[in-house]
Chains A and B, each alone.
Chain A
Amino acid sequence: EIVMTQSPATLSVSPGERATLSCRASQSVRSNLAWYQQTPGQAPRLLIYGASTRATGIPARFSGSGSGIEFTLTISSLQSEDFAVYYCQLYDNWPLTFGQGTKVEIK
């Protein structure tokens, strides 16, 4: 089973600043990686799939990059609604594994 490791566990950022989140796979998942955002008490929301393609309706300040084993989610200028937990997920193999999440909190 492929293990997904996200870092850091918590990221403290001021509104308007840039946030960079990392996700590492224990073996290559090609570009079959998605990112989800979850705010408290809500269901997750798909942000990115195919490592770098924004899902429908996702603002341009969210961008994804990487392939193989190293991936990055960048939020260019944090808005108040972006403070949340972010999960990466592989879908290159079974089971479809999520990372443990990165919490982005207000600095």
Chain B
Amino acid sequence: QVQLVQSGAEVKKPGASVKVSCKASGYTFTGYYMHWVRQAPGQGLEWMGWINPNSGGTNYAQKFQGRVTMTRDTSINTAYMELSRLRSDDTAMYYCARSGEQQLVQGYWGQGTLVTVSS
């Protein structure tokens, strides 16, 4: 079965960077886009972008352009999301989500990684 296991919670200071990992299993890693979605405490969902694990191609939401980098390591079936120049309003749960029957739909989700930005 499809499983996405994310790295553990992080606490960062403003201005720092964070890199979250998402290890995939149960399917062909290079066959499906990997999306990243975040959710601030008590708030709704915000799509950040996707990476095509086959080509490495990416598409980022304009809001995060210049601050986010999505990469992958196909040798270990793992996707990464790095967010730089962190601010307090970046405090959120960050989810990886594999595409479903359609590449732009988030069909399977990781458990989430809480990133807290605090001085």
Contacts and interface: CB of A to CB of B under 8 A. Distances in A.
A43 B109 contact: yes
A105 to B, nearest CB: 15
Interface stretch (A13-21, A71-79, A87-95): A87-95
Nearest to A46: B107
Given A49-B100, A55-B100, A94 B61 contact: yes
Interface residues of B, number: 24
Interface string A92-107: 0011111111000000
Nearest to B105: A49
A91 B45 contact: no
Interface on chain A toward B: helix, strand, loop, or mixed SS?
loop
B62 interface: yes
B104 interface: yes
Contact of A46 (B95, B106, B112): B106
Contacts of B101: 49, 53, 55-56
Contact of A98 (B45, B59, B62, B63): B45
B45 to A, nearest CB: 4
Contacts of A49: 100-102, 105
A3 to B, nearest CB: 13
Contacts of A23: none
Interface of B: 35, 37, 44-47, 59, 61-63, 95, 97, 100-102, 104-112
Interface of A: 32, 34, 36, 38, 43-46, 49-50, 53, 55-56, 87, 89, 91, 94-101
19 contacts: A43-B95, A43-B97, A44-B109, A45-B109, A46-B100, A50-B102, A87-B45, A89-B45, A89-B47, A91-B102, A91-B104, A91-B105, A94-B62, A96-B61, A97-B47, A98-B44, A98-B46, A100-B44, A101-B45
